Structure 1
């Protein structure tokens, strides 16, 4: 079961052990969290998949990145730089992964959409909410920055002694983001001819559940009340790829997680990620990632050794 992109789970995506994290909960019990991530060397490489979740990460950048490359739903959505003190938002429904080129120091605020909906309702506003910020959009916000700077010293102190302050700041930031940036979604995949949001969620969930054996277009179309052709066209309009390409991308995501372990062979990884054989896995991996899986694994091992030696 997926438990949210914070703490150890987020750290694993960045190949970091036990990053510091602060927690809170809303009145209805929705989890809020902020994780501090720090990478002190350059050329770190790609993150691993964070997992799909109906939640956002609000990322406060404390150091400049000369190269900020971000992929969502298997598509490149950003290739630029950002300055220290800026922020951006990741929609965890879109399977974000990133390339880390420069030393990194950031705070990642985990905000499930139910917490944002709850905040909007308490403010007397419409409960239908998305954070209407494109993933490629870096922005400056004095409130986000100030809350982040206030929380930084608490990571090094006894969290329990400061829990009331942590609750106040995290819940306050959630309410602020919901009030200031909440609204109807401006996600680029909600366009004319695309699947309805419920159809896209259903199709992707069905494919995740059948990641090993695969699933036919006709089954997906029947579940959505569409013809096979309309389903295929709508899905590509929504995600930028065909259902088959999307399924292969999720298998690659699974393979990337398995490759973090040093013991499994590439043949075993191919099998457990749902590929027919190692040759098929190697061909798809190289096409998607631009490097063979063996070379990727070697670079990942080198990155981990650099972190341990730091």
Structure 2
């Protein structure tokens, strides 16, 4: 994903090397960013990107005067762009820019699917559109500071801490959604609880390893200490991580019990229990009957 995005942006802005990094926390879409710089541009129009339901946010890292910009074939008023300002473009409207002056910028790729996922995770209505003036620079100190935090990671993307990158790009996406999309959550998250993306990530990791993913690893993926994660998990879901995991093992075991070809020993092993006795103990405690009785009841 990063290589493809960097290559596309590099071709658009006439640069050979455009390092890119991206989020890993959103299930159906990624937010990406790449650095583009050219000190001696040819006086040509920027290349076009494929039309798609996504936005391109350009954070200026140097001043550029009298910039010419087009959307849907219509030229926007010329404007000066200052370092620290950003411009927003809708990729459905075929944005183009005249590259006739040196430039250095960060280009953030924000697909509609990422905005939808952010809205869903924050219990907010989905955004219809982002508010912006074509070609105009916007002075937003939050975007500027988040962008500058990513510059060292872009200089050495192979050494970038993925959790740090996730946090910064997610903060970027949420800020854009709230400030320029008007996103407002229907309800505030509980104090001390997991953020929606942390809850989702924790559940994914725990389900992926029913034998028991190391709690330290799950907490690290959520950017928390083990103690903080355990308390936040319990506050969010009402049970400790281990008890929640046992519940997921029981859910899976019910599916497997429908298959008469599988023995209770096989099901116990597949669902992450130590042995059949361990499986029977927890199944009976949670469901109220033994696995064998539950399976027989299915046939009745």
Q: TM over 0.5: same fold?
A: yes
Q: Which residue of 1 aligns with 2:116?
A: 117
CA deviations 1:103-139 (Å, max 9, x no partner) are 1000000000111122122222211331111223311
* Partner SS, residue 23 of structure 2: strand
Structure 1 unmatched ranges of 5 or more: 185-310
1:248-307 deviation digits (Å, cap 9, x = unpaired): xxxxxxxxxxxxxxxxxxxxxxxxxxxxxxxxxxxxxxxxxxxxxxxxxxxxxxxxxxxx
**Between Structure 1 and Structure 2, how many residues are aligned?**
183
SS of the residue corresponding to residue 25 of structure 1 reads coil
1:110-259 correspondence runs (5 A): 110-183=109-182
Residues of 2 paired with 1:92 and 1:4: CA distance? 19
* CA-CA distance at 1:6 after TM superposition: 3.0
Q: Residue 35 of structure 1 corresponds to which residue in structure 2?
A: 34
Residues 53 and 92 of structure 2 are in contact (CA less than 8 Å); yes or no, is this contact kept in structure 1? yes
Larger radius of gyration: 2
Unaligned runs of 5+ in 2: 184-300
- Structure 1 residues 73, 26: closer, same or farther in 2, change over 3 A? farther
CA offset at residue 5 of structure 1? Answer: 8.4
1:136-155, CA deviations, whole angstroms, 9 ceiling, x for partnerless residues? Answer: 33111111000111101111
The answer (yes or no) to whether the contact 2:57–2:88 under 8 Å persists in 1 is yes
Q: Classify 1:9/1:41 alpha carbon distance in 2 versus 1 (closer, same or farther; 3 Å).
A: same
Whether contact under 8 Å (2:28, 2:113) holds in the other structure is: no
Give the whole-Å Cα distance in 2 for the aligned partners of 1:4 and 1:126: 33
Matched position secondary structure for 1:31: coil
C-alpha distance in structure 2 between counterparts of 1:5 and 1:74, whole Å: 26
Query: In structure 2, what is the Cα distance between the partners aligned to 1:6 and 1:44?
Result: 24
How is 1:83-94 mapped onto 2 (pairs within 5 angstroms)? 83-94=82-93
Give how far 1:15 is off.
2.1
Contact persistence 1:50–1:97 (CA under 8 A): no
